[in-house]
Amino acid sequence: MPGYPVLPEGLAYGGDYNPEQWPEEVWREDVRLMREAGVTLVTVGVFNWGLIEPREGDYDFTRLDRILDLLHTAGVYADLATPTSSPPTWFRRRYPGSRLVDRDGHVLGGGSRHSFCPSSPDYAAASERVVAALAARYARHPAVAMWHVHNEYGWANAHCYCPTSAEAFRAWLRDRYGDVGALNAAWGTTFWGLTYGSFDEVEPPVAAPVGLLTGLQLDFMRFSVDAHITCFRRERDTIRRFSDLPVTTNFMIPNCKPMDYWRWAAEVDVVANDHYLDSARADPHIELAMAADLTRSVAGGRPWMLMEHSTGAVNWQPRNLAKRPGEMRRNTLAHVARGSDSAMFFQWRASRYGAEKFHSAMVPHAGTDSLIWRDVVALGADLRALAEVRGARVTAEVAVVWDWESYWALEFEWRPSADLRFRERIEAYYEALWREHVTVDFVHPSADLSPYRLVVAPSSYLLAEASAKNLHLYVEAGGHLLVSYFSGIVDENDTIHPGPCPGALRDVLGVAVEEFHPLREHETVTLRSPGSPGSPGSPGSPEASGPAATGRIWSERVRLAGAGAVREFADGPDAGHPAVTRHDLGAGSAWYVSTALDGESGLRGLVAEVLDHAGVSRPRGLPDTLELVRRGDHLFLINHADTPVTVDGVTGAGVLDGAAYDGSATVPAGGVVVVRT
């Protein structure tokens, strides 16, 4: 693929390097320490606009020249960033029309980064000029290995509601719909008599007295993605005039809801992602694994780059926990196991100033006589040993459906229950699969599903007709589909599919829902096997004992229309009616779950049953704290427990420890073993 690999050999190791915050003596120590740790790539210049263009049109590259020359002398490559996420203070003052306006109409202030309107023509012109100057100067600098455009598009200024943005939105709508009648039809504007007479009457979805047209909201989300992609393309294409090195920008999968990364992926030469551990979670490494699998999937299965993570605590969570011993290593190697060809951090040296002075770094405030520095040096050795995994692919038999448009639409106001959250169900199913040691890909519902034995759709509220058809054909051809409640409800305009829910999936699932019965907060319902004691008219089923599965959040009245009941509700508003169903269709099967199952007896058990039915292979008998991933010829075993674990059936060479494994491998408590099989 174009632009890959970015370095001549091995995995890239390093981080954001902001030497402009330090005197020059410190730079010399920096490069000495980079060599000590085995750093090969650093991201330079991310927030340098005000330093390289201190006055409009007046460039000063002396400092950046010296930094890049120094890196080159030290044998460290640069991922050279365009500085456009942090416009200079003069820019704001000179071009007040470029200021960011929030949904409530507040003009957001300066003294910060990301404070600009993505649709501003003044921002476009100024950013293009500085990028051209930067690219012209450094296109052939020997330290530069790749370009890093901007920083985290859509993180802090995803949506702007200023008059310029409003005009750009109207132009976008004209382009999408051609005539206003088509817009009225798509948004269903006969509702509340909100029919538009012309595009000029459309306003962005600013704060309104009550519920806004959801079609308007959805299209504004789409428009905003395009506004940022337009900014990216402008910079990328400017760089291309001078350089053919790979160009990327750092995504924030999955923690930047407004950016549709299926759309973004087509724009970059190599997908790069930033991921930070959510230390409030009980098992944050499972969300990390999900982020890595989703990033790899967004990259189309190709190797990707972990552009930022942290050596220890971040500074922006309510309670910023330090990583536990070995946790940074496990985190990094989990990303590598799941397809990353780099391990980069924010940032190289901890800042003394500003908002991020309490954020961890590779060189912490404590210096080199510190827990973190010793781990950073050791990680460098691990990554050198793992050079041979570069470029290898991860394959999966199971796919999970992920669609950002469904994420947005599900979480608009006025839904049947506030507990319906897109990530809630995706994460529940992902965790069950992770604990079953099943590696998954993520897919858009319109993707080619033929490589997968099982496709899981935990949260597909918005599903276009064509995507539903794709799922239907997949099942008929022998695929297995597992769907959770409140999926297939609306089309791409957030309009309910005609007839009983789940309209788009009724045929493939063989069920029709008569009524939704959302549960109260903390209310649960019990499930049982059909035919178990107490089930109406049944003789009772002896094998249906064991802990009863319970459901939260949702119950509904399911009518069978081709499917059979696999579980039924034992109590609650739908007692005696189907809770889990299976529809054998063509050569495959489609399962439907109409409540929020969790945990070992509920979701784990059901997922295991469906995996078996679909013939998905996986190791058995391992603790569910062991992460097991195969990347090419390498088996990664990451032990998240405080006790060692022995894995049978492992033969090959230990890449990190040099051990020879013959039939089994013991992974130390909190440790990682990688075996070339």
Tokens of 142: 């020997």
**Residue 187 or 452 with smaller CB distance to ligand GLA:** 187
**Residue 359 or 480 with smaller CB distance to ligand GLA:** 359
Shortest Å distance, C-beta 155 to ligand GLA: 7
**Residue 376 or 597 with smaller CB distance to ligand GLA:** 376
HEC states along 425-458?
Answer: HHHHHHHHHHHCCCCEEEECCCCCCCCCCEEEEC
Check residue 459 for interaction with ligand GLA (CB under 6 A).
no
3-state secondary structure at position 652: strand
DSSP code at position 354: G
Tokens of 583: 């529809």
**Residue 59 or 155 with smaller CB distance to ligand GLA:** 155
Say if CB 239 and CB 131 are below 8 A apart: yes
Shortest Å distance, C-beta 265 to ligand GLA: 19
**Residue 45 or 572 with smaller CB distance to ligand GLA:** 45
Check residue 79 for interaction with ligand GLA (CB under 6 A).
no
Shortest Å distance, C-beta 361 to ligand GLA: 10
* Of residues 547, 552, 556, 554, the one with CA closest to residue 605: 547
Q: What is d(CA 448, CA 618) in angstroms, rounded to the nearest whole number?
A: 23
**12: β partners:** 342
Q: Using alpha carbons only, what angle is made at residue 143 by residues 139 and 148, rounded to the nearest 5 degrees?
A: 65
Check residue 308 for interaction with ligand GLA (CB under 6 A).
yes
* Of residues 474, 420, 5, the one with CA closest to residue 246: 5
State yes or no: is 36 an active-site residue. no
- Residues with Cβ within 8 Å of 301's Cβ and at least 6 positions away in sequence, in order, are 339, 393, 394, 441
**Residue 49 or 169 with smaller CB distance to ligand GLA:** 49
Long-range contacts of 556-559 (CB under 8 A, 24+ apart): 556/485, 556/513, 556/514, 556/515, 556/516, 556/517, 556/594, 557/513, 557/514, 557/515, 557/517, 558/511, 558/512, 558/513, 558/514, 558/592, 558/594, 559/500, 559/511, 559/512, 559/513, 559/514
Shortest Å distance, C-beta 414 to ligand GLA: 9
Check residue 27 for interaction with ligand GLA (CB under 6 A).
no
Residue 518 CA, chain-centre distance (Å), reads: 28
**Residue 352 or 559 with smaller CB distance to ligand GLA:** 352
End-to-end CA distance of the chain: 27
Check residue 314 for interaction with ligand GLA (CB under 6 A).
yes
Where do we find the tokens 């998240």?
Answer: 640
Shortest Å distance, C-beta 275 to ligand GLA: 9
Among 116, 232, 261, 276, binds ligand GLA (CB under 6 A): 276
Shortest Å distance, C-beta 308 to ligand GLA: 5
Check residue 151 for interaction with ligand GLA (CB under 6 A).
yes
- Residues with Cβ within 8 Å of 659's Cβ and at least 6 positions away in sequence, in order, are 653, 665, 673
**Residue 267 or 356 with smaller CB distance to ligand GLA:** 356
Strand 398-401 vs strand 342-345: parallel, antiparallel, or unpaired?
unpaired
Check residue 274 for interaction with ligand GLA (CB under 6 A).
yes
State yes or no: is 167 an active-site residue. no
Directed axis angle between helix 214-240 and helix 121-138, to 10°? Answer: 30
* Of residues 435, 482, 431, the one with CA closest to residue 459: 482
DSSP calls for 206-233: ---SS---HHHHHHHHHHHHHHHHHHHH
What is the per-residue burial (b if ≥16 Cβ within 10 Å, else e) of 142-172? ebbbbbbbbbbbbbebbbbbbebbbebbbeb
* Of residues 330, 332, 339, 331, the one with CA closest to residue 390: 339
**Residue 268 or 590 with smaller CB distance to ligand GLA:** 268
Strand 626-631 vs strand 398-401: parallel, antiparallel, or unpaired?
unpaired
Check residue 152 for interaction with ligand GLA (CB under 6 A).
yes
From the list 53, 152, 327, 427, the catalytic residue is 152
Shortest Å distance, C-beta 620 to ligand GLA: 39
Identify residues 358-417 at the interface with ligand GLA (CB under 6 A).
Answer: 359
Check residue 275 for interaction with ligand GLA (CB under 6 A).
no
Q: How many residues bind ligand GLA (CB under 6 A)?
A: 9
From the list 53, 235, 287, 308, the catalytic residue is 308
Q: What residue type is assigned to position 225 of the chain?
A: V
Shortest Å distance, C-beta 114 to ligand GLA: 10
Contact pattern from residue 325 through residue 364 relative to ligand GLA, giving x for each residue in contact according to CB under 6 A and a dash for the rest = ---------------------x---------x--x-----
Tokens of 210: 């009550």
HEC states along 12-49?
Answer: EEEEEECHHHCCHHHHHHHHHHHHHHCCCEEEECCCCH
Catalytically active residues are 152, 308
Binding site for ligand GLA (CB under 6 A): 151-152, 274, 276, 308, 314, 346, 356, 359
